[in-house]
Structure 1
Amino acid sequence: MINLTDSALDAVRNAMAGASEPVGGLRIKVESGGCAGNKYLMGLVNEAEPDDTVVERDGVKVFVDMNSHDMLAGTTIDFVVALEGAGFTFENPNATSSCACGKSFG
C-alpha cells in the first residue's frame, strides 16, 4: 500500500528516537487543502486509531486512516536532502495534478 524508502525510514526512526514522549508510529493522512486540492499530513503518534490500516516495514509502523487509504494506495515516500533543504517527498500514482512544492495534489 504505502512504501517508505530507506532514507524515509531512517528519518522517521531518528524523529522517533528524539521524541519526548513514547511513539507508536507515523500517521499519514490526506486532508482537503493546499494549492492543488488535497494535502499530505504526517506526524508521530502514540497508537493507531481503531479504523486505521497499519503498515509495518523494518520495525516502523505507519498508520493510515480509512478516509485516506484509497488516495494513498501505491504511494512511495522518500526523504530527500538537497541544496534547497531536506524533507519528505511523495510519489503518488493516484495524483492527477500536484503543486510545485510537492505537498499538495489533486
Structure 2
Amino acid sequence: MIQLTEAAVDALRTAIAGSDEPVEGLRLMVESGGCAGLKYMMGLVGEAEPSDVLVEQAGIKVFVDPMSIAYLEGTTVDFVTSLEGAGFTFDNPKATWSCSCGKSFG
C-alpha cells in the first residue's frame, strides 16, 4: 500500500482545488531514467486508466499503473517545506539507494 502523509494530502488538496481542469486524482508512476536508474513521476489527472491500481486515502485518489506498483509498494509520499524549497519526497523501502535529489532510485 502507498501512504500519503497529512502534509502530502494537504498539498494535493490545494493543488486539486487550484487546478484549471477537472481532477480525479494523482497519477504516481516509475519510469526509467534519473541518475539512479529509475525516477518517480507524478501529476494530477482527469481520469484513471482502465488498468490502474487505485489507492485512496483521506479522499485523495492515487492511480498507479500495474508496472509501477511493484516498485512503489510500501512507499510513503510526504510534502516537505525547508529553506531549500518545498516539494514531495518519497520514502521507498524497495529502493536500495537513491540520488541526492531524492527523485530517482535504484
TM-score, length basis structure 2: 0.99
Tell me which residue corresponds to 1:31.
31
Tell me which residue corresponds to 2:90.
90
Tell me which residue corresponds to 1:50.
50
The separation in 1 between residues aligned to 2:90 and 2:46, in whole angstroms, is 23
Tell me which residue corresponds to 1:79.
79
Tell me which residue corresponds to 1:66.
66
**CA offsets 1:76-95 (integer angstroms, 9 cap, x no match):** 00000000000000000000
What amino acid does structure 2 have at the position aligned with 1:28? L
Tell me which residue corresponds to 1:17.
17
The separation in 2 between residues aligned to 1:8 and 1:81, in whole angstroms, is 11
List alignment gaps of at least 5 residues for structure 1: none
Tell me which residue corresponds to 1:104.
104
What displacement does 1:58 show?
Answer: 1.0
**CA offsets 1:28-52 (integer angstroms, 9 cap, x no match):** 0000000000000000001110110
Q: Percent identity?
A: 68
Q: CA RMSD in A?
A: 0.4
TM-score, length basis structure 1: 0.99
Question: Does 2:19 correspond to 1:5?
Answer: no
Alignment size in residue pairs: 106
